[in-house]
């Protein structure tokens, strides 16, 4: 009997130990399950926030972001929403549930790094899946890495010609020309320096206004959009340092300083194409331009032009871009012109006739006339671009368009599409690349303005692409605390 009692006691003890162990195991399993459920609940709650991305922005710009104010309801509303989602996913057995947002990553952080990252990701996809080509690669190939940077020897020749005028303003040649333009009754064999009146092509360019030039480059069957926008809340207004007004080429062509300023203002741009290919391709894919509509819900018809000029109307943006395209072509054509001996001889003869009794002005005057002719040629080139054709990049005797003696007629001359030339979009890309940070800032203006057509409270400065949050809850007397982060 004693042995039986000992056995019963032993079995009872073993059973008790087993029950304790089983209970502990069950508790561990329950706590482990509770912990796992908690982790899953935190992640799902964060995903709920990410799922509330702005559908208009994603559809038209392929950018994922959410409004940290939840459509103007405030940041506290978003935090309450996160806590409610967390509570629902945990269930009633969890108590003292809390969720608090500790940080957010904004679309504009670190000089638009999140925006640039998503643009690049989309363009990698577009290049692979849609066959979108990088325009920068094509531009570099067609230009041979050249732009309108004036060769040093050309600058030196121009400066030397200026010195030969002995400091006299070549604008004074008008007075001399008047003397040379006297009627035949004043012609005297003893005064052979008096010359008959000649046409000065600079008289033509001096009469050109900004609006007249836009009319010259526009095809006859095209009208300009009258769309306007308000820039009161534009995000780019906070970034004044990114922008500077473009000064149009001086159209008087009677002084060396403004001549050189016009030739160098937009002459050097090849370096700006480095590392901008994906962004430029993205812009060409999603934003409207004068030549191509990408978004029929957009307020502006000429969005890419806005990225460059930043004006509040399509008309002003298009006019500004036309002048900037002329500014790009101008030094390229100038270089092409001075490398054509026959044309330079024509200009020397013209300068001689215009200078009249002031032959010391001829060296400088020749370069002023070259600038005038190169400018007129640039108007003709931009007219080709606005007509949807490609214009030759480098100019020579075979592809030169205008005639200095018949300006109006040559500007209206019909030309063929240059197979290896650059088109309107290419020149837009060049202008955008020259201030890619400014263009990026103005992208946000357009995203905001267009989205506000459907969501009045939307502001791009409230656009978030990631968040961090702390989560707390109690289960069975145990307190759980987690920190989670999520981003697109």
pLDDT in tens, 336-375: 999 999 999 999 999 999 999 899 999 999 999 999 999 9
Answer yes or no: is pLDDT of 194 > 90: no
pLDDT band at 58 (very low <50, low <70, confident <90, very high): very high
Calculate ∠ Cα 377-417-316, nearest 5°. 55
Please give the pLDDT value at position 3: 74
- Residue whose entry in the numeric block shows the structure tokens 């979009």: 425
Q: Where are the domains of the chain?
A: 2-52+67-109+470-487, 133-450
Task: Provide the pLDDT for residue 129.
Answer: 66
pLDDT of residue 178: 42
Can you tell me the mean pLDDT for 393-401?
96
Task: Give the Cα separation of 387 and 339 in Å (integer).
Answer: 28
**CA–CA gap between residue 236 and residue 293 (Å, rounded):** 23
Q: How confident is the model at residue 177 (pLDDT cuts 50, 70, 90)?
A: very low
Residue-level pLDDT at 441? 95
Q: For residue 217, give both structure tokens.
A: 């480059």
In angstroms and rounded to an integer, the radius of gyration of the C-alpha atoms of the chain is: 35
Helix, strand counts (H, E) of the chain: 18, 4
Q: DSSP code of 483?
A: E
Instruction: State the pLDDT at residue 132.
Output: 60
Predicted local confidence at residue 221, as pLDDT: 86
The rounded distance, in Å, linking the Cα atoms of 212 and 215 is 5
Of 478, 468, 471, give the one whose Cα is nearest residue 98: 471
Question: Considering the chain, what is the average pLDDT of its residues?
Answer: 90
Per-residue pLDDT, averaged over 310-325, amounts to: 98
Average pLDDT over residues 276-284: 93
Residue 234 is classified by DSSP as: -
pLDDT at 176: 42
User: Of 159-173, 216-230, 472-486, which range is least confident?
Assistant: 159-173
Place of tokens 């103007």: 72
Our CA dihedral for 387, 427, 146, 401, rounded to 10 degrees, sits at 20
Q: Which residues contact 219 (CB under 8 A, 6 or more apart)?
A: 383, 386, 387
Share of the chain above pLDDT 90, in %: 76
The pTM assigned to this predicted structure is 0.87
Strand partners, 99: 471
> In whole angstroms, what is the distance from residue 207 CA to residue 416 CA?
29
User: Does 174 score more than 70 pLDDT?
Assistant: no
Rounded-to-integer distance, Cα 485 and Cα 47, Å:
10
């Amino acid at each position: 009997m004693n042995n039986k009692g000992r056995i019963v006691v032993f079995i009872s003890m073993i059973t008790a130990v087993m029950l304790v162990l089983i209970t502990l195991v069950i508790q561990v399993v329950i706590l482990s399950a509770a912990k796992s459920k908690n982790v899953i609940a935190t992640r799902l709650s964060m995903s709920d926030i990410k799922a509330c991305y702005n559908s208009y922005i994603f559809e038209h710009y392929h950018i994922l972001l959410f409004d940290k104010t939840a459509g103007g309801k405030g940041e506290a509303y978003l935090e309450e929403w996160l806590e409610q989602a967390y509570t629902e996913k945990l269930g009633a057995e969890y108590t003292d549930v809390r969720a608090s947002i500790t940080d957010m990553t904004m679309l504009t952080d670190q000089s638009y790094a999140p925006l640039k990252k998503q643009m690049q990701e989309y363009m990698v996809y577009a290049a692979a899946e849609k066959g979108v080509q990088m325009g920068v690669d094509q531009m570099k190939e067609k230009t041979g890495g050249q732009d309108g940077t004036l060769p040093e020897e050309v600058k030196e020749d121009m400066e030397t010609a200026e010195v030969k005028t002995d400091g006299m303003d070549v604008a004074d040649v008008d007075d001399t020309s008047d003397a040379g333009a006297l009627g035949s009754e004043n012609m005297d064999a003893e005064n052979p320096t008096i010359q008959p009146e000649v046409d000065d092509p600079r008289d033509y360019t001096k009469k050109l206004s900004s609006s007249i030039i836009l009319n010259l480059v526009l095809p006859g069957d095209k009208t300009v959009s009258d769309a306007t926008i308000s820039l009161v809340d534009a995000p780019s207004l906070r970034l004044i340092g990114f922008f500077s007004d473009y000064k149009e080429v001086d159209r008087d062509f009677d002084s060396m300083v403004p001549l050189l300023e016009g030739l160098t203002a937009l002459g050097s741009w090849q370096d700006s194409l480095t590392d901008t290919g994906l962004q430029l391709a993205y812009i060409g894919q999603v934003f409207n331009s004068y030549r191509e509509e990408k978004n029929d819900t957009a307020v502006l018809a000429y969005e890419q032009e806005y990225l460059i000029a930043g004006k509040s109307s399509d008309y002003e943006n298009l006019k500004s871009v036309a002048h900037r395209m002329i500014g790009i072509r101008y030094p390229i054509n100038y270089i092409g012109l001075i490398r054509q001996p026959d044309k330079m001889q024509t200009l020397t003869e013209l300068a001689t006739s215009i200078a009249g009794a002031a032959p010391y002005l001829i060296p400088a005057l020749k370069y002023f006339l070259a600038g005038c002719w190169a400018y007129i040629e640039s108007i003709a080139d931009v007219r080709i671009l606005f007509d949807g054709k490609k214009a030759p990049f480098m100019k020579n005797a075979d592809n030169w368009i205008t005639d200095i003696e018949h300006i109006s007629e040559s500007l209206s001359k019909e030309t063929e599409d240059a197979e290896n030339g650059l088109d309107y979009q290419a020149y837009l890309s060049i202008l955008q690349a020259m201030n890619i940070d400014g263009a990026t800032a103005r992208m946000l203006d357009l995203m905001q303005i267009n989205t506000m057509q459907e969501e009045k409270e939307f502001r791009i400065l409230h656009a978030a692409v990631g968040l961090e949050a702390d989560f707390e809850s109690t289960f069975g007397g145990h307190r759980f605390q987690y920190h989670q982060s999520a981003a697109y």
